[in-house]
Chain A
């Protein structure tokens, strides 16, 4: 129990089996994992190795077939749906590969949307949103809609939105997959900055070698199992 409180995420013996008709797909098998606070961790592995599944389970978007998942002291695998939504709203930020943003809302409204769900007062959320958009380098683009922003800019809005309410954990599933390498590098630098400045634990996935190099811990998945867990400095 002692050790658990130091960790943002704890997985014990987690397996996920998808059943498609009669075929069972073992997406994850007996995963044990501790992610300490402020960690900046990368999940790598070939396509189909279980990266997305693992992120989804940690984020409470899906439930494990067996095993225990704890995020910020709460048993994600056991929480009822409503509680899970609340946990995601207040404790977890998400960045997906693409189409993260709500197309009819402007950049700043996308950021404000989460705070509105949290019940933050209008003036406060506007101020915070402006601030964070400036921090991710989008000053002056606040009132553009996603369609009027480049792919890299859209991902920056998504990062801003994930971080604005100071969650404990940000999960990013291949956030750079749709970006060119220069833009991807810039985004990774932003994530590193956010990780150190905002005391947030980051778990992101990629199969891009250069992106992996930004991580402080690299986990390699293959066929739903952790095959390597490497600390780097």
Chain B
């Protein structure tokens, strides 16, 4: 092995400039892939985190059928005290919500809207909406007779701060649910859907209006590490009462759109990556082919000495593999350097903050560091490069000694 490896290594350096150029092409594409993949996955994490933070949270306790059919009757009994117990067990952000449907009117206009009852003190921990009140203030107390509404809805209803909002719906028991509350705050969540039709009331007020007693529809959990969410979920599940038909929903179930959007984006990005890789592979194939063709005579001598074409092919494969490894290692080094830098410093470009701000996203992406993000791209390039080397290596099988020796 020693002599073969040395042999291959020296063959690589017969044309140092060509070898460096080829290694650079591999290194460059590997660097680019590491940079793009770590950034892309960093962006996904950001997207997930930001989307979940707006309103949905990471986990929600619900009645079993509630996700598919959100009926007002599918409730969690004594929800606020269950939430308090979870808080006591060390979960950092837990809030109770109840949700119904009502006709919201003000003066001459009416819209059918979802109405949510929240715990003002805890809602801040699981949702960014309380922090995004642009006019007035957020709900003050769980028993207060007041409402906050989305900015678009406010505009559509022609409601201003302090105006009264009439809500008319049906309660849990089928009775009429009606109330008149002043609007104390208007929010812009960054999510157009929420801003267009969303009314929040304090939880106790909601429960009174909708005849819910102390029932609610969801206990929202947030502030957990998404990488260890499964373990956290198990700990939550262990604390749920067994006889109340409750389930714990994960964010993937609550917001299936994110996962789908990410998968679609991933496919699109990989298409780009593969195009890049194929282009690089073909330029490398050209180098490999050249280095084999120019050594035809030498291979002829080796064949005459009794070397098998397989042996010579292996030598060529070894050379290509060494070259690929050289490029990959340099590329992985540079790529990891970039990724580490942008992991800590964050990646941004001029105008990005404004652009992303519109969607409620921060203007900085932190590259995601993990074994996969740092090695997947280079590994794929490596596989493609070595596959490209197979072609010239297999061509050697067609060499006949006499022709090879007569080649110049």
What residues make up the interface of A, taking CB atoms closer than 8 Å to B?
56, 59, 61-62, 82, 85-90, 92, 94, 96, 99-105, 109, 112-114, 116-118, 122, 161
Contact = CB atoms under 8 A, between A and B. Distances in A.
B298 A102 contact: yes
A116 B3 contact: yes
A117 B305 contact: yes
Nearest to A57: B402
B293 interface: no
A94 to B, nearest CB: 5
Would you call the interface of chain B mostly helix, strand, loop, or mixed? helix
Contacts of B4: 116
B306 A89 contact: yes
Interface residues of B, number: 23
Secondary structure dominating the interface of A:
helix
A62 B306 contact: no
Given A114-B305, A114-B306, A61 B405 contact: yes
A119 to B, nearest CB: 12
B301 A99 contact: yes
Interface of B: 2-4, 6-7, 10-11, 14, 297-298, 301-308, 311, 400-402, 405
A61 B304 contact: yes
Contacts of B14: 103-104
B311 A117 contact: yes
Contacts, number: 68
Given A102-B298, A104-B10, A104-B11, A88 B306 contact: yes
26 contacts: A56-B402, A61-B304, A61-B405, A82-B308, A85-B308, A87-B306, A88-B305, A90-B306, A94-B301, A94-B305, A96-B301, A101-B301, A102-B298, A102-B301, A102-B302, A103-B14, A104-B10, A104-B11, A105-B7, A105-B10, A109-B7, A114-B305, A116-B3, A117-B305, A118-B306, A161-B305
Nearest first, the 5 closest Cβ-Cβ pairs linking A and B are: A89-B306, A104-B10, A88-B306, A61-B401, A62-B402
A61 B306 contact: no
Contacts of B6: 109
A83 to B, nearest CB: 11
Contacts of A100: 301
Contact of B2 (A96, A105, A122): A122
A88 B401 CA distance: 12
A85 B4 CA distance: 19
Nearest to A53: B402
Contacts of B302: 102
A99 to B, nearest CB: 6
Nearest to B13: A104
A60 to B, nearest CB: 8
Contacts of B402: 56, 61-62
A90 B305 CA distance: 9
Nearest to A100: B301
Given A62-B400, A105-B7, A112-B3, A89 B405 contact: no
A206 to B, nearest CB: 18
Contacts of A112: 3
B270 to A, nearest CB: 39
Which of B4, B303, B306, B401 has the largest count of A CB atoms less than 10 A from its CB?
B306
A89 B302 CA distance: 10
B12 to A, nearest CB: 9
Contacts of A88: 304-306
A112 B4 CA distance: 11
Given A116-B3, A122-B2, A94 B307 contact: no
B404 to A, nearest CB: 9
A117 B307 contact: yes
A113 B3 contact: yes
A142 B307 CA distance: 22
A59 B304 contact: yes
A92 B306 CA distance: 9
Contacts of B298: 99, 102-103
B403 to A, nearest CB: 9
Given A61-B402, A62-B400, A102-B298, A113 B305 contact: yes
